[in-house]
Amino acid sequence: MEFPADLKYTKNDEWIRADGTVGVTDYAQDQLSDVVFVEIVVSEGDEVAQGDIIATIESVKAAADVYAPAGGKVVAVNEALADTPEAVNEDPYGKAWLIKLEIADPAELDGLMDAEAYEAYCKEREE
């Protein structure tokens, strides 16, 4: 399982890069199993607050809401995921980015986990 060092992580298994790119983690896709549907519920230009719902991901096992790891303005939405939901399983940190944010307050990222802490958090839940 991968935990890229340049990302920050939430307890709800989202990741965010310093440039504002947001997605769900390798652990999240592994738990969900085969993803069959991705619906991004925000649009370019929307303002979101930390913790707002930005997307719903559905797999053969479950449906999960995805929350904004930080607040800010939505500057891009990954439209391609609607047709290629399997990208969430194949490339959660790359092709399967969900939205890009203009982060309003970079200090919000300080409250998130780094890769090491997030990896420990995932291990702990596996016990």
Partner 1 sequence: MAMKVREPLISELSAPGRRGVRFPESDVPASPMPKDLLRADLPLPEVSEVDVVRHYTRLSHFNHAVDINFYPLGSCTMKYNPKINEAVSRLPGFAHLHPLQPEETAQGALRLMYELQEALQEITGFAACSLQPAAGAHGELTGVHMIWAYHQDRGDTQRNKILVPDSAHGTNPASSAMSGFWVVEIPSDERGNIDLAALKAECDDTVAGLMLTNPNTLGLFEEHLLEVIETVHAAGGLVYGDGANLNALLGIARPGELGFDVMHLNLHKTFATPHGGGGPGSGPVVCAPHLADFLPGPVVVVKEEATDDLPPLYGFRMPPKSIGRVKSFHGHFGVMVKAFAYIMMLGAGGLRQVAEDAVLNANYLRVRLQDAYHIPYNRICMHEFVAEGRWKDAPDVHALDIAKRLMDFGFHPPTNYFPLIVHEALMIEPTETESKETLDAFAEAMLQIAGEAHTNPEVLHSAPHATPFGRVDEVKAAKELILTWE
Contact set with partner 1 (CB under 8 A): 31, 33-34, 36-37, 58, 60-62, 85-86, 126
Minimum CB separation of residue 6 from partner 1 in Å reads 29
Minimum CB separation of residue 104 from partner 1 in Å reads 23
| Alpha carbon distance 5, 17 (integer Å) | 10
Minimum CB separation of residue 60 from partner 1 in Å reads 4
Minimum CB separation of residue 23 from partner 1 in Å reads 20
Contact at 8 Å (CB) between 67 and 12?
A: yes
Which residue, 60 or 107, has its beta carbon nearer to partner 1?
60
Which residue, 58 or 114, has its beta carbon nearer to partner 1?
58
Which residue, 64 or 98, has its beta carbon nearer to partner 1?
64
Contact at 8 Å (CB) between 48 and 71?
A: yes
Read off φ and ψ for residue 71, nearest 5 degrees: -85, 160
Which residue, 6 or 34, has its beta carbon nearer to partner 1?
34
Q: Which residues pair with 15 in a beta bridge?
A: 9, 23
| Alpha carbon distance 54, 69 (integer Å) | 10
> SS3 of 23, please?
strand
